[in-house]
Amino acid sequence: MSTITEQLGRDLAGRYRLEAGLGTGASAHVYAAFDGRLRRRVAVKLLHPGLSGDAAFLRRFSAEAQAVAALNHPNVLQVFDWGEEEDGPFLVLEYLGGGSLRDLLDQGHRLTPAQAAAVGAGVARGLAYAHRRGLVHRDVKPANVLFDAEGGVRIADFGLARALAEAAWTEPQGAVLGTARYASPEQAEGRSLDGRSDVYSLALVLYEAVTGRVPFSADTTVATLMARIGATLPPAPELGPLAPILAQAAISEPVVRLDADELAEDLEVLGRALPAPGALPLAPRPLELSLDDTPNGSGEAPSRRKSPRRSSGRDGAPSRTPSPDAGLEDLTELGTSSARRGARSERARADRQYETDRHETDQHETDQHWDGQRWVHEHAADQPFVDEDGVEEQAADKRRPRRLRRTVLAVVLLLVLGAGAFVADRLVHSGIPVPAVAGRSVTAAEKALVAQHLRAQSTRAYSSAVPAGMVLSQRPKPGVRAKAGTPVKLVVSQGHAPVAVPQLVGESQSQATAALSSVHFAANVTPAYSETVPAGTVISASPASGTAPYGASVALQVSEGPHPRQIPQFSSSTTWAGASAALTGLRLSPIEERAYSDQVPAGEIIATAPSEGAGGVAVGSRVTVTVSLGPRLVTVPPVSNLSIAQALAALQAEGLNATEQIGPPLSTQATTTDPAPGTKVRPGTPITLYVK
């Protein structure tokens, strides 16, 4: 990818002139640009050139860009346009001059709990708005939390993480770790994601914004991801009253985690109970154009959306100023389930109204100014019409009915809000206080609720920290007053979630047992013979894949090598060639030896070692086969002219015995033998000695 400065001055799509570099990420350069058609400042994200050849990515990128462009919310960075150049696709975004939360943290700044609550509430409102429309961000991190020049907060890069995840290219080394620092446990485990995954990531971002530390960080990507599975958020004194809210938002199991709406409400209530947050230490980028700096020199500055500095209320609306004692009532209001339902309906209406207002604003040229309390929009259609004689009464007359209608609507709205406040107050301050049952057994919790004339509605969820049968959380929260018979929703622990069984077949026994131990499984090893699997290697596992209960025992069948062999029984006519072939077929190593035998004909098998019929012989063992040479024969030595004593000694040296002497009685010299000298005979053959 080219350097960020090489692209400066370039026009994308003949419309967007790249004027200044704002930053470089793992997949893109970001520029401040000027939209020559609409005469306004924009931001352009120019993606990696390698993505231009990935058809699957471009399809996903197009779909995600269109979906995100439809989002209209004050806490979601707006997408204006997208396109594709030869060297890669690009996005045209709303330009914000206040930098990112990452910039702020990199400069050594830390947020106070009140500031983090205000920023987090705004981001959570933007996430909740997108979640209701089926979009999950998947990459919430400080670099994607942006500020305008007045401190308004936006969440950026919706949809891009999902498109990049399906791209067939490799990000630079370290890019994955940057995202892994804030990934949810279900992302680490490859489970399906919903909006609560973004809530977990936002909790880690706010934790870092206050403490300067990212929880669960480790030296490697795998260690970082595995550290948060089943873990609870580590305590940090700097968080103060923010700690319990972030702990609920960072619960390992998503089913009991706060959703974005609930997180926003909790942060807003906390913000009203805390002192007003100070101004954020933003470092606005010095990129605003003066009247003489416009690209065409016309003196007309590009239009930009003004965002008055505000603390985030519901869906970005300015929050009310609390009374000194409002904190306790607000915290009570937070736990009221009926108040939550009303708030969500109001948010949905606010979303629709915001989109309608924005659409109308886009349809007309609008001049706006800050009158010290609010933004005033003056449309051309609302300006007084002055005819040639300076008469504007007709226009004034036309405005009066409109003003009257607005006044009536305002009065009606105040009455409705007053009635709603009265009803909410009655709901909050009357009824039975809900007891605290989280952390108790479900049986004890149900008894406690029945004693207060309340009902229990239980759902089950996995938890790595809370034993099965114990209550993980409750809604409404403890202390909230509810009418008799009101259901209290309990989330009851099922114990640890099932754990994925690692791949074990083909691994050595030591590797397999170590892999099982790392995910808290026990190994039950059974030896077994195998003709194909080497000794010490896992033949099979049960279960072999899928998941198993936490702490379960996994049966491993480990090879002891091939079955032991038995030496065959050879027939009397078996030769060396036959015996060798039979032993080789049994994967044994035959060794030949030869020996004389008076009983076994030459060439036949005399014996084997181990002996014939012996079992338990390991494959590859040496087997000695003794092959007969037939009987041993000796040559009758010559005895002519030897004395009788010498002749007898020569015969005895060959294993022969002279059993008879034939000749004169007083003979002293041998003459010959029978069998005759030179004859081959077996040792011990009787010899007749002739003497003279």
| Closest listed residue to residue 423, CA positions, set 319, 333, 326, 349 | 333
Compute the chain's Rg from CA coordinates. 46
State the Cα–Cα distance between residues 439 and 478, nearest whole angstrom: 12
Q: Are 498 and 549 in contact (CB under 8 A)?
A: yes
Looking only at the bridges linking them, the beta strands covering 547-548 and 605-609 are: unpaired
Q: Please give the full DSSP string across 5-49, using - where no structure is assigned.
A: GGGTT-EETTTEEEEEEEEE-SSEEEEEEEETTTTEEEEEEEE-G
Q: Say which amino acid occupies 28.
A: A
Q: Which residues pair with 155 in a beta bridge?
A: 76, 145
CA distances from 430 to 424, 479, 481, 483 (A): 10, 12, 6, 8
**CB 662: neighbour CB atoms within 10 A?**
12
Q: Enumerate the H helices of 195-303 as residue ranges.
A: 195-211, 221-227, 243-249, 260-273
Query: 618 in helix, strand or coil?
Result: coil
259 is a catalytic site residue: no
Q: Are 160 and 58 in contact (CB under 8 A)?
A: no
Query: Which phi-psi region, left, alpha or beta, contains residue 116 (left: φ > 0; alpha: ψ -120 to 50)?
Result: alpha
Cβ-based burial of 445 (10 A; exposed 0-12, middle 13-18, buried ≥19): buried
Q: At a CB cut-off of 8 Å and minimum separation 6, what does 319 contact? A: 268, 271, 272, 310, 311, 312, 313
Kindly report the length of the chain. 692
Enter the DSSP assignment of 146. Answer: E
The residue from 54, 139, 157, 351 that is catalytic is 139
E strand or H helix at 413, and its extent? Answer: helix 393-429
Tell me which residue has tokens 């702490």. Answer: 551
Enter the DSSP assignment of 254. Answer: G
> What are the backbone angles phi and psi of residue 82, rounded to the nearest 5°?
-150, 160
State the Cα–Cα distance between residues 492 and 511, nearest whole angstrom: 36
State the Cα–Cα distance between residues 692 and 688, nearest whole angstrom: 14
Q: Are 228 and 252 in contact (CB under 8 A)?
A: yes
66: its two tokens: 């269109």
Edge to edge, the sheet with strand 455-461 lists 455-461, 487-493, 471-475
Tell me which residue has tokens 């003196």. Answer: 299
Q: Are 492 and 459 in contact (CB under 8 A)?
A: yes
State the Cα–Cα distance between residues 221 and 209, nearest whole angstrom: 21
Q: Are 310 and 268 in contact (CB under 8 A)?
A: no
State the Cα–Cα distance between residues 100 and 120, nearest whole angstrom: 13
461: its two tokens: 């969820």
The three-state DSSP-derived secondary structure of 499-515 is EECCCCCCCEHHHHHHH
Residues with catalytic function: 139
